[in-house]
Amino acid sequence: MIKMDPHDRIDLTGPWAGFGFQGGHMFTPEGHQLEPGDMAWWSLTCNIAREWRLMMAEGRAEVVTRSVPSRKACATGKSSVIYLTEALRIRRERRLGVSGPRSDAEPSNVVYMSRGPRPRQRV
Task: Quote the number of domains for the chain.
Answer: 2
- Whether residue 33 is predicted with pLDDT greater than 80 in this model: the reply is yes
pLDDT, tens only, 66-121: 544 455 544 555 556 667 777 778 888 887 775 555 555 666 666 666 777 777 77
- pLDDT over 50 (residue 62): yes
Structural domain includes residue 1: yes
Note the pLDDT of residue 17: 93
Specify whether 28 is located in the same domain as 73: no
Q: What is d(CA 12, CA 16) in angstroms, rounded to the nearest whole number?
A: 6
Q: Is residue 20 part of a domain?
A: yes
Range of the domain at 55: 41-96
